[in-house]
């Protein structure tokens, strides 16, 4: 890491934060970002499962209209509105994830960042940007004209 990379406009490395800590916090941040992606997929699962259940209800009505009442009744009774896991619909899975693992993960990442880097976010990425950009080249500015990285 060059000295220039440590002194980023708008994102200086706090005094006493060494390279190993910046790297460790970067890994922690990356892990958090992965949970954010997982959460997004969980919401996708929630929405797709709900859409499937509504489509299933439509299919049941079409089966019934086509004269297949017994099949429609069976599917409606046993599958429409069914829990996806024991005792839970997908919204409950989303709530449990949000209130439990995701919230705990975010709190631990924030607390580590607060304790080790004065709360500064994305130090690792800010250093990477400083190293990889072409200084003086349009589109490679350190940050917007307001000064933030």
Tens digit of each residue's pLDDT (9 = 90 or more) over 82-111: 999 999 999 999 999 999 999 999 999 999
The predicted structure's pLDDT at residue 118: 93
Q: Give 124's contacts (C-beta < 8 A, 6+ positions apart).
A: 22, 23, 25, 26, 27, 29
Are the C-beta atoms of residues 130 and 4 closer than 8 Å to each other?
Answer: yes
Where in 1-149 does DSSP place strands (E)?
Answer: 7-8, 11-12
Are the C-beta atoms of residues 119 and 25 closer than 8 Å to each other?
Answer: no
Total-model pTM: 0.80
Percent of the chain's residues with pLDDT above 70: 91
């Amino acid at each position: 890491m060059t000295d220039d990379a440590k002194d980023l406009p708008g994102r200086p490395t706090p005094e006493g934060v060494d390279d190993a800590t910046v790297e460790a916090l970067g890994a922690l941040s990356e892990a958090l970002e992965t949970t954010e992606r997982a959460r997004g997929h969980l919401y996708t699962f929630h929405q797709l499962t709900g859409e499937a259940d509504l489509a299933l209800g439509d299919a049941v009505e079409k089966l019934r209209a086509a004269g297949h009442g017994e099949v429609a009744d069976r599917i409606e009774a046993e599958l429409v509105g069914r829990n996806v896991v024991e005792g839970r619909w997908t919204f409950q899975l989303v709530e449990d994830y949000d209130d439990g693992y995701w919230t705990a993960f975010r709190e631990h990442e924030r607390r580590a960042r607060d304790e080790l880097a004065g709360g500064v976010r994305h130090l690792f990425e800010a250093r990477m940007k400083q190293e990889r950009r072409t200084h003086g080249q349009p589109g490679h500015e350190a940050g917007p004209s307001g000064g933030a990285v």
